[in-house]
């Protein structure tokens, strides 16, 4: 049997600039996957249509962030020569496939999707006030994935229910219409600290509204200042006090970003990050010193991104052109999959010579 193509697909809602949580949670891995050479095709897209499902009255926000996220992608090292970067709304085949998928999913199944369920609870009224577009976005997300025959979807754990629902749709489709679509696998981040990076204030999640994010596009000064103000261990009042690592944001970030060699280069008295942690828990190691290391480690990661971003910012029309070309390329695959879908669903009337011959024989008998 012919080996199946290995296809990566993933995306982000363009509702804000990307921060270091996005970087350790997904972006860093995508760049590694891209450069591994192990995949036949890589699709990375901006889910602007999905972003609009809960920013209905805020189209300008989505529009502004499409270019911000594109710059973040390019700055992080996604390479348009290796990865197809595109924008969801520019692929009309996604609407077409979603429309057919709607026949394969029940209202009660959507109501059981944890993401949709939370939203319904938040809005009250038993969910009647939820926009249909939001309600059905797990279906359109299944179209995002299957239209490109993705085999591997690198996303955070919060997307697990979406992937499960997608696999169900694929199984149902293939069962009814014959083997056409591909069941995707989720690829979760591999480092526990990366699953969800807390905000600089120690709150569970980085979010723009809480003002606790470090953005990929922050200047060196902004990063230094944010690290200085970071949440550590509130019981660690004096340097000599024993410190706690649990819930200590500085150490969570160090786990996500820092290599032992970087610890040793700055503080030769430690071989590894673990040595430094041991010192901290014993007492005698101040927060300032830990923050100094973290600042340096973050700058090492972010500085090359700043430089790349600055280059791309000089020619914004060229960035739009990268996206436009990406959309064109993505559509080549989209059109092909839709041909197969229409054939499987028996709605390919005009390119089926056998059908026309058969019908004409029936009527001219
Ligand atoms: N729902 C994803 C998020 O909020 C974005 C997304 C849309 C996506 N379609 C996708 C991710 C398809 C992976 C595959 O981050």
Q: Which atom of ligand 1 is nearest to the CA of 50?
A: 7
The DSSP bridge pattern shows strands 84-87 and 152-154 to be unpaired
Q: Whose CA is nearest to atom 14 of ligand 1?
A: 10
CA terminus-to-terminus distance, the chain: 42
Q: How far is the CA of 60 from the centre of ligand 1 (A)?
A: 20
CA distance 165 to 147: 15
Return the pLDDT at 207: 85
Return the pLDDT at 1: 47
Q: Give yes or no for residue 34 CB within 6 A of ligand 1.
A: no
Q: Give yes or no for residue 10 CB within 6 A of ligand 1.
A: yes
Return the pLDDT at 24: 87
Return the pLDDT at 125: 61
CA distance 71 to 310: 9
CATH class of 218-311: mainly alpha
Q: In a mutational test of the pocket of ligand 1, which residue from 15, 23, 47 has the highest number of ligand atoms less than 8 Å from its CB?
A: 47
Return the pLDDT at 333: 98
Q: How far is the CA of 176 from the centre of ligand 1 (A)?
A: 26
Q: Which structure tokens are listed for 324?
A: 């436009």
Domain spans of the chain, in order of start:
7-196+315-358, 218-311
Q: How far is the CA of 162 from the centre of ligand 1 (A)?
A: 8
CB 249 within 8 A of CB 231: yes
Q: Which structure tokens are listed for 229?
A: 């103000």
CB 87 within 8 A of CB 48: yes
Q: Give yes or no for residue 155 CB within 6 A of ligand 1.
A: yes
Q: Give yes or no for residue 24 CB within 6 A of ligand 1.
A: no
User: What topology does CATH give the domain 7-196+315-358?
Assistant: Rossmann fold (3.40.50)
Q: How far is the CA of 138 from the centre of ligand 1 (A)?
A: 9
List CB contacts of 363: < 8 A, sequence separation 6 or more.
none
Q: How far is the CA of 143 from the centre of ligand 1 (A)?
A: 11
Return the pLDDT at 2: 56
Return the pLDDT at 195: 62
Q: In a mutational test of the pocket of ligand 1, which residue from 21, 43, 83, 155 has the highest number of ligand atoms less than 8 Å from its CB?
A: 155
Q: How far is the CA of 140 from the centre of ligand 1 (A)?
A: 10
Return the pLDDT at 193: 56
30-51, pLDDT tens digit by residue? 999 999 999 999 999 999 999 9
Provide the strand spans (E) within 95-198: 152-154, 185-187
Q: Which atom of ligand 1 is nearest to the CA of 140?
A: 9
> Would you tell me the crossing angle of helices 160-177 and 114-123 to the nearest 10 degrees?
120
Q: Give yes or no for residue 301 CB within 6 A of ligand 1.
A: no
Q: Which residues of 46-60 are buried (b: 16+ CB within 10 A; e: fewer)?
A: bbbbbbbbebeeeee
CA distance 94 to 137: 12
Is the whole model's pTM more than 0.85, yes or no? yes
Q: Whose CA is nearest to atom 2 of ligand 1?
A: 12
CB 48 within 8 A of CB 62: yes
Q: Give φ, ψ of 259 to 5 degrees.
A: -95, 150
Q: Mean pLDDT per 10-residue run, the chain (365 residues)?
A: 84 95 90 96 98 92 98 98 98 98 96 87 75 93 98 90 97 98 92 75 88 96 97 93 95 94 96 97 96 97 97 98 98 98 96 91 89
Q: Give yes or no for residue 48 CB within 6 A of ligand 1.
A: no
Element (H, E) at 106: none
Return the pLDDT at 23: 92
């Amino acid at each position: 049997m012919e080996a199946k193509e290995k296809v990566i697909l993933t995306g982000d809602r363009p509702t804000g600039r990307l921060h270091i949580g996005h970087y350790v949670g997904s972006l860093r891995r995508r760049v590694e996957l891209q450069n591994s050479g192990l995949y036949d095709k890589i699709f990375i897209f901006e889910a602007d249509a999905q972003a609009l499902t809960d920013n209905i009255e805020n189209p300008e926000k989505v529009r502004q962030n499409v270019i911000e996220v594109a710059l973040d992608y390019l700055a992080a090292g996604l390479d348009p020569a290796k990865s197809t970067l595109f924008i969801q709304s520019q692929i009309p085949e996604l609407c077409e496939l979603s429309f057919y998928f709607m026949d394969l999913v029940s209202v009660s199944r959507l109501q059981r999707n944890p993401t949709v369920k939370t939203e319904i609870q938040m809005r009250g009224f038993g969910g009647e006030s939820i926009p249909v577009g939001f309600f059905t976005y797990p279906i359109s997300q299944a179209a995002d994935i299957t239209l490109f025959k993705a085999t591997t979807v690198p996303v955070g754990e919060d997307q697990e229910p979406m992937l499960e629902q997608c696999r169900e749709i694929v199984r149902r489709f293939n069962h009814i219409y014959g083997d056409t679509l591909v069941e995707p696998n989720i690829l979760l981040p591999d480092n526990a600290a990366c699953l969800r990076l807390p905000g600089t204030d120690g709150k569970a999640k980085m979010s723009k509204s809480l003002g606790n994010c470090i953005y990929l596009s922050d200047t060196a000064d902004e990063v230094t200042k944010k690290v200085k103000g970071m949440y550590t261990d509130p019981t660690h009042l004096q340097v000599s006090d024993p410190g706690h690592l649990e819930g200590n944001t500085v150490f969570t970030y160090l786990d996500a970003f820092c290599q032992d060699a970087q610890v040793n280069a700055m503080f030769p008295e430690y071989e590894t990050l673990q040595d430094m942690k041991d010192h901290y828990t014993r007492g005698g190691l101040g927060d300032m010193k830990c923050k100094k290391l973290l600042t340096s480690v973050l700058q090492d990661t972010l500085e090359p991104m700043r430089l790349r971003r600055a280059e791309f910012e000089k020619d914004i029309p060229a960035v739009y052109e990268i996206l436009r070309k990406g959309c064109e390329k993505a559509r080549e695959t989209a059109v092909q999959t839709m041909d197969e879908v229409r054939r499987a669903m028996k709605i390919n009337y005009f390119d089926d010579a056998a059908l026309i011959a058969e019908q004409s024989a029936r009527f001219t008998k």
